[in-house]
């Protein structure tokens, strides 16, 4: 975050659709970035897909150990 309170979003993320104003909901371990004005139901649906992917990765990781 710069001195004006702005965060630089790297080019690959901007190219993925993060342009204009975004909102961020952080906690102590992770954050959700989304385009300002996005419906909460759409964000939750996307997060469910991400969570399913993370669970799959965790299972794969556990099998390696």
| pLDDT tens digit at each of 65 positions of the chain | 778 877 777 888 778 877 778 888 989 899 898 989 999 999 999 999 999 999 999 999 998 87
pTM over 0.85: no
SS3 46: helix
SS3 28: coil
Where do the structural domains in the chain lie, given as residue ranges? 11-64
Which residue from 31, 45, 28, 33 is spatially nearest to 9, judged by alpha carbons? Answer: 33
Which residue from 33, 41, 4 is spatially nearest to 17, judged by alpha carbons? Answer: 33
Distance CA 32, CA 26 (A): 6
């Amino acid at each position: 975050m710069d001195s004006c309170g702005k965060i630089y979003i790297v080019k690959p993320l901007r190219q993925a659709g993060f342009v204009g104003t975004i909102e961020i909901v952080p906690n102590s371990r992770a954050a959700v970035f989304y385009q300002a004005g996005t419906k909460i139901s759409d964000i939750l649906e996307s997060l469910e897909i991400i969570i399913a992917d993370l669970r799959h990765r965790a299972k794969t990781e556990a099998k390696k150990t």
